[in-house]
Structure 1
Amino acid sequence: MEKWVGRMLSSGNLYSANIRLFPIAPFGPGGLPDNVDNLLITWQSTNTYNAGLDLTTWNKRLEFSFDAYKKVTSDMLLATQLGAYSGLGTAWNDIKTPTTNDGRMTNTGFDIGLTSYNIQNNNFTWKTNIIFSKYKNILNRMNEPNATLPGTFDEYGTKSLVTLSQQGRPLGAFYGYVTDGLFRSQAELNNGIDYGLSIAPGSLWLGDVRFKDLNGDKVVDDKDVTVIGDPNPDFTYGFTNTFSYKGIDLSIFIYGSQGGDIFNYSRRQTEALSSPYNNQLTTVLNRYSANNPNGDLPRYNQWHNNNNRISDRYIEDGSYLRIQNVALGYNLPKSLISKIKVSNARFYVSVQNLYTFTNYSGYDPELGALNNNIRFMNIDNGHYPVPRTFTLGTNIEF
């Protein structure tokens, strides 16, 4: 139910001024202004343009389709960018700035489909279907050239900036520090760059992660964060082969994705190496130590959290090829089933998610959006993997 207080609503929307109600406060129930209204805003608009081509050749043995598209989203609903002088902001405890219609985002791409009837005779048929897709996402314009849409991940009350959407870049690009290996010598520690910590075994020391000074000011700080990955794949594809021999049929479907990055957030806990009481992956056995100076992972470090900064240390290639479905079936001969007044009887066995070829270290490279948030694409925080499913069944028609 909406509760009006002047021009203020206690139920949230973007066009009116809202209030936040508190049932318990030092002087009893009360409320605070939540945002500044803007009664002129409208719905954002989307225009989609398509062009396609379908061809059939070689006596209908080869079918080809091509579809190109462009989707333009304009008048996006964005928070007004105002300076601190206004007393307004976008944080959870701020009085929010007005929402305005501004911003533009473009998705362009194409899909190619190819179907081939390779063999067709009375006893044996073989059909192949291939699909190839490619798209590109760009956030063309925001209400200010330097405006951003931060993707801040809340981990038990600790907020970490993982993605940052900026004008001229893809939505949800990973954002963080760039690593430069580990400190493995005293000379590397004393390289003249200020990392914000003193040089000592209980502070910055051998085996800690070394970050790049991107702007060259001899200080590694938040001015050295940059785009470290893109969750969008270069292209996706699918491949289906269907065979039939007399009463036996076999179908094999594989698909894949190439080039998309994954931020393996779960490794921030399982490879943290900051507490002897936390479960860790077996990969930490190859950490840096006095006995293993060539270890791949940083040393055990309970003194500071620099080694676990949001960085390209957790960026992995999310490319994969998956055998998604294999189905084998058998249709009983008509001469046999007609005796029991059955028109068709088919027995089949199938398996879903048979095997995935990937170099990704997590359970499943096919992630989607974390918490259904488009700014958190391909972030793995313990994503439950797709199960492998075996099915045995029959289809009987009378």
Structure 2
Amino acid sequence: MRTSLSYTSSDVLEQQYVSRKLQASLNLGQANIDDNTATTWLVENTATLHRALGRQHDLTLLGGFTAQQTDNGANSAQGVGFTSDLLGYRRLNLADQVTGSSNATRQRVLSYLGRVNYSLAGKYLVTGTVRADGSSKFAANNKWAVFPSAAVAWRLSDEPFLRRLIPAVSELKLRLSAGSTGSNAIPTYQSLAAWNVGAPYAIGPTAFFNGATLSRITNPNLRWETTVQYDAGVDLGLFGNQLTVTADAYDKTTKDLLYAKQVPYLLGFASYVTNIGRVRNRGLELAVDTRSASRGLEVRLGGNVSLNRSKVLDLGGDRQFFLTGSNTSLPRWENDVIVQVGQPLGNFYGYVWDGIFQSSAEAAASGQAGAVVGGDKLRDVNGDRKIDSNDQTILGNAQPRYLFGLTGSVTYDRFSLSVLVRGALDFQVVNVSRAGMETPGGSSNMLTSVLGYWTTTNPSNSMTALNVSPFDGLTSRWVEDGSFVRLQNVTVQWDVPERLGARVGVRRLRLYLSGQNLLTASRYSWYDPEVSSRGTSDLTLGWDDSNYPGTKTVTVGASVGF
């Protein structure tokens, strides 16, 4: 029997005052007080029974349940319009205008689980698992779902015939598995209707009243997102496991995807969370490691590579839908991500950029509305001699086709050196940051490349004229190759001899120097291709809108044992 209980709590209080002397407060003075709380408790109870049935059979049974509750609260108050900066947020009631808001949410998950492990002669392995999960986030009739899984393995290296045929094989195991898992990764209360109060409306020419508007509709069918996955793999060890190879292939289909579906604004709200469609992911993973040791010198080298291909199978009867993200930089884009049946997730959608119009005649003959000399030139993709939404096309994809990693370590006596290199190939990033700083106009900073703007004496084909408004839509001009190779980690260690450590009163002393994110090789023009302003889901990757890049860190330290 095993029982574990965990409890976490946080309370973050933020108090801020913007002086009347600063432009940000519009010479009024502004105070903000925000108090955010979060508590989570988790109880896990399991019971395990192990039985050895004779000399060949081994059986392990496990059963149990888990319960989790998370409470979040937020209280905020704002005051605008202070006659003095003396007291600030300490006397919020002195402001000309005081507003406040509060919010509280609770979510619960209850799970029952069971697992059976069976081994025959240590060579034939079978595992079966089932769990039932209930979540408060879903509708009343769909809170519960059952997720079974099973796995079998055959350790061929323990078979006498293989040892005779191939003595170099020290480990060989074949694996097959199939199973399902669930996701409830949505905000709370999405199955319930919600109203916004305080919406003003008029009766007659002078009478105004506060009313309520529907901000979310009821969804009694909201349920668990379910993923069914099949795996096949092999583990191979040669020459006493000096060379090991692990290979896996998987086929994963996710149905009833949880997604905030956009709806016409005439309904009074922009979207609602629902289950929609199916997506399939197929991939391969390969890892190779080697180990060699001689006369106190040990060398380890390893590498891994993975490739994944996603495909949208169904969108609940729709052929496609679009996503629009908020950009702080210009241009302001709409419908710039497309989710389409038969296509992978993460596709950017827009116009192909063909440079700059070099003459008024070229602009007039383009069929592009608002075309002027020195302005953006778009490609007539469908060849109908006009530029419209039918010329939009897929401009790139945010999902890397290949991920890889390389590891190496050398140990000699008390010294060790380890290196990690990783990378991603064949994917694109939308450089919203560059779009904002290569768009002439406004009061923000510009890149020096803007100095090469188009003029009659400098007929640039890469930078528009200063007096020309940029095309207000996503084009291939801002889509860049994000492929990179990164020196992720280098660590050097020295275990100080015990006789030297004893002089300073320690039993064990290890000195180390470590560097993280030391070097990145990429054709991407901005700071870091491995960013995403819109989130980390498969639908929102690949947008760099003034993201803070990954930091380079060098650490010097010591590990001491007394």
The two structures share one fold, judged by TM-score above 0.5: yes
Instruction: Give the CA deviation at 1:226.
Output: 1.3
Give the conservation status (yes or no) of the 8 Å contact 1:65–1:113.
yes
Residue 130 of structure 1 contacts residue 239 of structure 1 at CA under 8 Å; is this kept in 2?
Answer: yes
- Give 1:284's aligned residue: 450
Of residues 266, 270, 276, the one that matches 2:437 is 270
Q: Deviations over 1:162-220 (max 9, x none)?
A: 21212221223101101122222455334x3321126xxxxx11x32210112222211
Tell me: CA distance 1:322–1:294, structure 2 relative to 1, closer, same or farther (3 Å): same
Match of 1:297 in 2: 463
Amino acid at match of 1:265: V
| Secondary structure at 2:233 match in 1 | strand
Cα distance in 2 for residues equivalent to 1:177 and 1:165: 16
Note if 1:63 corresponds to 2:244. Answer: yes
Q: What is the rounded CA distance, in whole Å, between the counterparts of 1:363 and 1:92 in structure 2? A: 41
C-alpha displacement of 1:375? 2.7
Is contact 1:54–1:65 with CA below 8 Å preserved after alignment? yes
Q: 2:379 aligns with which of 190, 209, 212?
A: 212
Do structure 1's residue 19 and structure 2's residue 200 form an aligned pair? no
Per the alignment, residue 215 of structure 2 pairs with 34
Q: Which amino acid letter does the alignment assign opposite residue 352 of structure 1? A: Q
1:350-389 paired onto structure 2 within 5 Å: 350-368=514-532, 370-372=534-536, 374-389=538-553
In 1, distance between residues paired with 2:522 and 2:254?
Answer: 34
Is the 2:358–2:459 Cα contact (8 Å) retained in structure 1? Answer: yes
Task: Tell me: CA distance 1:269–1:173, structure 2 relative to 1, closer, same or farther (3 Å).
Answer: same
Q: 1:79 to 1:293 in 2, by over 3 A?
A: closer
Write out aligned runs for 1:99-118 (5 A): 101-117=275-291
Within the candidate set 494, 508, 511, 1:347 is matched to: 511
Q: Give matches, 1:157-236, under 5 Å.
A: 160-186=334-360, 188-190=362-364, 192-197=365-370, 204-205=372-373, 207-236=374-403
Contact 1:325 1:352 in 2 (8 A): yes
Structure 1: distance between partners of 2:343 and 2:495:
53
Q: Which structure 2 residue ranges, 5 or more long, are not aligned?
A: 1-103, 106-186, 203-207
CA distance in 1, matches of 2:549, 2:396: 22
Name stretches of at least 5 consecutive residues in structure 1 with no aligned partner.
Answer: 3-10, 82-88, 199-203
Q: Does the CA-based 8 Å contact 1:330-1:348 persist in structure 2?
A: yes
The 8 Å contact of residues 329 and 433 in structure 2, kept in 1 or not, is answered as no
State yes or no: 1:327 paired with 2:502: no
In structure 2, distance between residues paired with 1:134 and 1:20: 46
Q: For 1:363 and 1:170, how far apart are their aligned partners in 2?
A: 27
Correspondences of 1:251-270 after superposition (within 5 Å): 251-270=418-437
Aligned-residue CA RMSD (Å)? 2.8
> Are the counterparts in 1 of residues 333 and 473 from structure 2 also a CA contact under 8 Å?
no
Following the alignment from structure 2 to structure 1, what is the Cα–Cα distance between the partners of residues 274 and 489? 47
1:137 matched to 2:313? The reply is no
1:123 and 2:296 are equivalent in the alignment:
yes
State the match for 1:53 in structure 2.
234
Structure 1 pair 211/392, CA: closer, same or farther in 2 (3 Å)? same
Query: Equivalents in 1 of 2:539, 2:336: separation in Å?
Result: 9
- Bigger drift between 120-129 and 291-300 goes to 291-300
Q: CA deviation at 1:38?
A: 3.8
SS for the counterpart of 2:326 is strand
* C-alpha distance in structure 2 between counterparts of 1:310 and 1:178, whole Å: 9
Does structure 1 retain, via aligned residues, the 8 Å contact 2:416–2:493? yes
Is the partner of 2:436 in helix, strand or coil?
helix
Give the Cα–Cα distance (whole angstroms) in 2 for the partners of residues 79 and 394 of structure 1.
Answer: 49
Residue pair 2:214, 2:268 contacting (<8 A) in 1 also: no
The 3 A distance-change label for structure 1 pair 12 and 73 is: same
Q: What is the DSSP-based 3-state SS (H/G/I as helix, E as strand, rest coil) of the residue aligned with 1:284?
A: helix
Whose strand proportion is higher, 1 or 2?
2
Counterparts in 2 of 1:179 and 1:131: CA distance versus 1, 3 Å: same
Q: How far, CA to CA, are the matches of 1:92 and 1:172 in structure 2?
A: 28
Cross-structure match for 2:474: 310
Aligned identity (percent) is: 28
Letter in 2 for 1:238: G
Q: Is the Cα–Cα contact under 8 Å of residues 154 and 160 in structure 1 kept in the other structure?
A: no
Supply the AA of the counterpart residue of 1:114: V
Give the 3-state SS of the residue equivalent to 1:70 in structure 2: strand
Q: Could you tell me how far apart the structure 2 residues matched to 1:148 and 1:336 are?
A: 68
Q: How big is the shift at 1:92?
A: 8.3
**1:85 alignment counterpart:** none
Distance of 2:360 and 2:269 partners within structure 1: 50
CA change 1:96–1:255 in 2 (3 A) is closer
Between the aligned partners of 1:109 and 1:151, the Cα distance in structure 2 is 29
Please give the secondary structure, in 1, of the residue aligned with 2:501: helix
How many residue pairs match? The answer is 372
1:331-375: CA deviation from partner (whole Å, max 9, x where unpaired): 112343356664321111111111100110111111146244543
State the partner residue of 1:72: 253
TM-score normalised over the length of structure 2: 0.61
Q: Which amino acid aligns with 1:283?
A: S
The answer (yes or no) to whether the contact 2:213–2:268 under 8 Å persists in 1 is no
Corresponding residue SS for 2:335: strand
Q: Give SS of 2:510's match.
A: strand
Equivalent residue letter for 1:34: S
With over 3 angstroms needed to count, the CA separation of the structure-2 counterparts of 1:97 and 1:322, relative to structure 1, is closer
- Aligned partners of 1:98, 1:380: CA distance in 2, in Å? 26
Q: In 2, are the aligned partners of 1:110 and 1:133 still within 8 Å (CA)?
A: yes
Moved more, 45-54 or 155-164: 155-164
